[in-house]
Structure 1
């Protein structure tokens, strides 16, 4: 910015976005000062570097505003892990599926992780069937992103939320929707009128 530009020549753009040509930075700075504005290097890696005449405060504010808008549009998708065992009982399996469904409805990916120990490694087909059953049970809100895959002593499936399926699921289960998708707001009591 201004005196901090050390290139031999710069390509100058005026405040209206029109190209003014290639010139020494001293000359470009003099033009900017005559107009009561700053000389800002916008493309330092270009040959020659590109500078623009503009109000530095306004430029900084607009950049900050653009970054804020870009940050708002970003969505962070995390991967939630649900641990299973080949001999997980049915009730525990139902609870874990409920948790996985809640994670998917909230927009997170779910990794169903089945861990084998000792002799269970000899019966990997049982684990595979369990993962297929659980992922099939969650297909009403998700799609399988990575099919069952073995990694060491673990087998896993990665499921991603499907917005269209989630919308249909929430429509069909209106009584479940408030419990799963959003926390309930605390009830506020109205102040009682005093009898006089």
Structure 2
């Protein structure tokens, strides 16, 4: 048996207990807290400027599911070839996605260019 100081108050709070057991229990408790902690992931959904309505609804439904589960969502707009000439179509699509998801979350950053070849 050991005298273990539990808190540094005035007067200090101490217990007579087995110190090895105390260390084991505290490690076990910290491991359980780490296991319960939810790690947020960044989920990505890729759109193209020519994304049709049915595909848009499926992707939007997946984005809603990601956000409701507590994950972060990243929306990527990919241009290919001549689609780069009509970037305003893509920007309208991104604004539409942002408006449809407005009640679930807010956008933290907007419009980073990455061109596919």
State the TM-score bracket (shorter-chain normalisation). Answer: 0.7 to 0.9
Q: Which structure exhibits the higher relative contact order, with contacts defined as CA atoms closer than 8 Å and separated by 6 or more residues?
A: 2
Q: Which residue does 1:139 correspond to in 2?
A: 102
Q: Which residue does 1:75 correspond to in 2?
A: 38
Q: Where do 5+ consecutive residues of structure 2 fail to align?
A: 6-16
TM-score by length of structure 2 reads 0.76
Contact kept, 8 Å, 2:4 with 2:19, in 1: the verdict is: no
Q: Which residue does 1:15 correspond to in 2?
A: 3
CA RMSD in angstroms, aligned pairs only: 2.1
The DSSP-based 3-state class of the residue aligned with 2:90 is helix
Residues 97-136 of structure 1: pairs in structure 2 closer than 5 A: 97-136=60-99
Q: Which residue does 1:152 correspond to in 2?
A: 114
Please state which structure has a larger fraction of its residues in strand: 1
Misfit runs of 4+, over 3 Å: none
Match of 2:48 among 67, 74, 85: 85
Question: Following TM superposition, by how much is the alpha carbon of 1:123 offset from its aligned partner in structure 2, in angstroms?
Answer: 1.9
Structure with bigger gyration radius? 1
Please state which structure has a larger fraction of its residues in helix: 2
Cα distance in 2 between the residues matched to 1:79 and 1:130: 21
